[in-house]
């Protein structure tokens, strides 16, 4: 298996791309999708395997800079990071790369170069195409389609994985359909959505011929440095007064701000987390009843909810449950944080479950937000639950 390096996608693909198979990132115009191929390339190379990057629309030096922008240092990968230069020939520039296509408008020339690079690789690797659409523009649609079949067969011989970035410009219907459905073993659609009022970008699996395709769509965000992150636009943190909501938001976040007066949150806590391929914006509500109108206002469109409870203060549990109602959280993935486990008299998660009469499908997890105990475990649990929802 060759991992794509895209968070969540490898899980869905049951580990990655099997050796000798091909994958196309089918990118809708207007979406910054070429990063997918770049991330797969860098992930493979940094794992000690070989990667060939077919540069067709950018100068190889610029390409290394593009990788640098994401914090991916290509120099450290030495000769495992190989570029097939199918660009310099276009502008008549000299190239310092080992593989240079002298006439990028001639598909046979390109094929020759790619085959040579595949043969030379010392073990299975990945061949990533910076932009299949550019090659198609230069060499013609049907010529390119034929060539892809040839490249994919060749990859099979040498156990390489083929990865194409393809932007779905208005080519002929047949060409688009062919790329989406026939020509590769798997296809990942990368698009933008304007569903409701939040705008985002998503990816989903269209096809993968070695498995049953899960019908999942994943929102993502591109961060620099970092690359592609699974993105959750809003996670709500709510709970009664003095349960430790702000502390929890700050413990979880890489950076966070709070509107606190006299030691309590009066408006909201806003935090941002970047953790193991996931990124999320976190909204923490005030807990006191007089701020309920603001709680209601800010809780819309959350994708998941943390209910933070002070485990030593059973009297407030009812208020906690009430806050789930105010925030209209029922039906969303909820994780209950049994906070302040280090204090004397803290109830165990099971005792809390009994007192709240919470069904067992709502996890109750122990935590000590002041020293970050349990907060990331809780985050992972909630994210898994959010990802299970379609």
Kindly state the tokens that stand for 288: 């006191």
Binding mask 198-217 for other proteins (x = CB under 8 A): xx------------------
Which one of 157, 177, 217, 257 is in contact with other proteins (CB under 8 A)? Answer: 257
Q: What distance in Å separates the CA atoms of residue 152 and residue 143, rounded to the nearest whole number?
A: 14
Minimum CB–partner distance for residue 330 and other proteins (Å): 17
194 or 360: CB nearest other proteins = 194
Q: Does 234 bind other proteins (CB under 8 A)?
A: yes
Question: 62, 157, 297, 318: which one contacts other proteins (CB under 8 A)?
Answer: 297
Q: Of the ranges 2-10, 254-262, 308-316, 364-372, which one interacts with other proteins (CB under 8 A)? A: 254-262
Give the helix ranges, DSSP H, for the chain. 9-12, 34-46, 60-69, 88-91, 107-120, 132-139, 141-158, 173-177, 245-252, 292-298, 317-326, 349-356, 375-388
- Contact at 8 Å (CB) between 104 and 87? yes
Place of tokens 């570029």: 83
**Binding span for other proteins by CB under 8 A among 116-124, 252-260, 346-354, 373-381:** 252-260
Alpha helices in 178-303 (DSSP H): 245-252, 292-298
HEC profile of 104-141: CCCHHHHHHHHHHHHHHCCCCEEEEECCHHHHHHHHCH
Residue of 96, 255, 276, 354 that binds other proteins (CB under 8 A) = 255
Determine, following the binding rule CB under 8 A, whether residue 169 of this chain makes contact with other proteins.
no
Binding to other proteins by residue 299, rule CB under 8 A?
yes
Selected from 298, 305, 309, 385, the binder of other proteins by CB under 8 A is 298
Nearer to other proteins, 194 or 361 (CB): 194
Applying CB under 8 A, the span of 48-56, 294-302, 339-347, 353-361 interacting with other proteins comes to 294-302
- Residue 296 beta carbon to other proteins: minimum distance, rounded to whole angstroms: 9
Alpha-carbon distance 102 to 92, whole Å? 9
Between 272 and 355, CB nearer to other proteins: 272
Q: Could you tell me which of 224, 237, 222 has the C-alpha nearest to residue 303? A: 237
Contact region with other proteins (CB under 8 A), list: 55-63, 95-103, 136-144, 193-201: 193-201
Q: Give whichever of 221 and 321 is closer to other proteins, judged by the CB atom.
A: 221
Confirm or reject binding of residue 226 to other proteins (CB under 8 A).
Answer: no
- DSSP helix/strand/coil, 94: coil
CA distances (Å), 179 to each of 48, 132, 168, 323, in order? 30, 10, 9, 49
What does the alpha-carbon distance between residue 171 and residue 180 come to, in Å, rounded to a whole number?
A: 12
- Binding span for other proteins by CB under 8 A among 162-170, 292-300, 305-313, 332-340: 292-300
Is residue 283 a contact point for other proteins (CB under 8 A)? yes
Residue 304 CA: distances (Å) to CA of 288, 294, 349, 360 = 21, 18, 20, 17
Binding track over 263-282 against other proteins, x by CB under 8 A: ----xx-x-x--------x-
- Smallest distance from other proteins to CB 293, Å: 4
Taking the least distance from each CB to other proteins, the nearer of 217 and 297 is 297
322: number of Cβ within 10 Å:
14
Residue 259 is a binding residue for other proteins (CB under 8 A): yes
Q: Pairing mode, if any, of strands 227-238 and 217-223? A: antiparallel
Please give the Cα distance from 19 to 159 (Å, whole number): 5
Binding site for other proteins (CB under 8 A): 30, 192, 194, 197-199, 233-234, 255, 257, 259, 267-268, 270, 272, 281, 283, 293-294, 297-301
């Amino acid at each position: 298996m060759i991992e794509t390096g895209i968070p969540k996608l490898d899980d869905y693909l049951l580990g990655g791309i099997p050796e000798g198979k091909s994958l196309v990132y089918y990118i809708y115009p207007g979406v910054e999708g070429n990063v997918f191929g770049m991330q797969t390339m860098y992930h493979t190379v940094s794992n000690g395997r070989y990667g060939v990057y077919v540069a067709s629309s950018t100068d190889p030096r610029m390409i290394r800079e593009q990788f640098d922008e994401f914090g991916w240092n290509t120099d450290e990968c030495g000769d495992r990071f190989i570029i097939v230069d199918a660009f310099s020939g276009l502008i008549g520039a000299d190239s310092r790369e080992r593989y240079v296509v002298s006439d990028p408008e001639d598909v046979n020339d390109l094929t020759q170069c790619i085959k040579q690079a595949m043969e030379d690789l010392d073990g299975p690797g990945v061949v990533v195409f910076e932009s299949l659409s550019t090659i198609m523009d230069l060499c013609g649609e049907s010529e390119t389609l034929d060539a892809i079949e040839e490249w994919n067969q060749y990859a099979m011989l040498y156990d390489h994985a083929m990865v194409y970035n393809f932007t779905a410009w208005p080519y002929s219907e047949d060409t688009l359909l062919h790329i989406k459905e026939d020509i590769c073993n798997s296809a990942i659609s990368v698009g933008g959505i304007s569903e409701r009022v939040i705008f985002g970008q998503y990816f989903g699996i269209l096809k993968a011929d070695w498995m049953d395709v899960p019908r999942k769509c994943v929102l993502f965000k591109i961060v620099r440095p970092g690359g592609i992150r699974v993105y959750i636009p809003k996670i709500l943190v709510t709970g009664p007064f003095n349960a430790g909501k702000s502390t929890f938001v700050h413990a979880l976040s890489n950076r966070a701000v709070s509107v606190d007066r006299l030691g309590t949150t009066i408006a909201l806590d806003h935090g941002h987390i970047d953790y193991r391929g996931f990124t999320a914006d976190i909204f923490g509500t005030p807990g006191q009843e007089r701020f309920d109108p603001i709680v209601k206002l800010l809780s819309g469109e959350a994708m998941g909810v943390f209910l933070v409870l002070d485990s030593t203060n059973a009297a407030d549990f009812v208020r906690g449950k009430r806050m789930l109602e105010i925030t209209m959280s029922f039906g969303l993935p909820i994780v209950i944080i049994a906070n302040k486990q280090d204090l004397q008299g803290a109830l165990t998660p099971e005792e809390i479950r009994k007192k709240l009469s919470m069904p067992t499908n709502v996890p109750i997890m122990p935590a000590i937000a002041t020293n970050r105990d349990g907060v990331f475990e809780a985050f992972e649990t909630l994210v898994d639950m959010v990802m299970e929802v379609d």
